[in-house]
Amino acid sequence: MLPARTKSARVGCLVSLLLFLVGGIVLVDRYQKMTSCIGNQPPLTSFGITIDPSQNQQFVEQSRKFAYRHSFRFDTADFDQPLSDVRIHMVGKDVEVIVRSSSNPGEYETGFYNYDCIHPTMVSDIGDVVSDYKSFVSEIPNVTISAER
């Protein structure tokens, strides 16, 4: 009776291992498909933002409020001096927003990118999100938002 149990246990372990491997392969394949278009892609839409350099902190906070409202992950990076060379990165379910400071203090380039390679986002799908971001940024006094490109 003991050898039959051992054989059943071995078969059960083998089947479990095969299912685990197949599941892993499926997950890796799906992840690759989801992220295959992310990288050197052009933005769906982009525009410039100009503020007074003394308002950088307020700009970051307005971007954070926008990200919170839309359930985006929010991340900032200061590369040089605090809040003079800033990168803001916001990621939602299907949209990625990247804001980079330019070489001129107070000038930022904002791009909205597709973040779902399986179901690509179109420019027409993000119009409300873009408008809402501009609305948040417009609350900063004396801000200038250039035309979309």
The 10s digit of each residue's pLDDT in 116-128 is 777 788 888 888 9
In the chain, how many H helices and how many E strands?
3, 6
Please spell the DSSP secondary structure of 3-30, one letter per residue.
Answer: HHHHHHHHHHHHHHHHHHHHHHHHHHHH
CA 85 to CA 79: how far, in whole Å? Answer: 6
In terms of residue numbers, what domain contains 126? 45-145
Both 132 and 69 in a single domain? yes
The pTM (predicted TM-score) of the whole model is 0.72
User: pLDDT digits over 72-116, tens only?
Assistant: 999 988 755 555 577 899 999 889 999 998 888 889 999 999 887
Buried/exposed 119-141: b ≥16 CB within 10 Å, e otherwise: eebeeeebeebbeebbebbeebe
Both 59 and 104 in a single domain? yes
Both 55 and 75 in a single domain? yes
38 confidence band (pLDDT: 50, 70, 90):
low
Q: Is the per-residue pLDDT at 36 higher than 70?
A: no
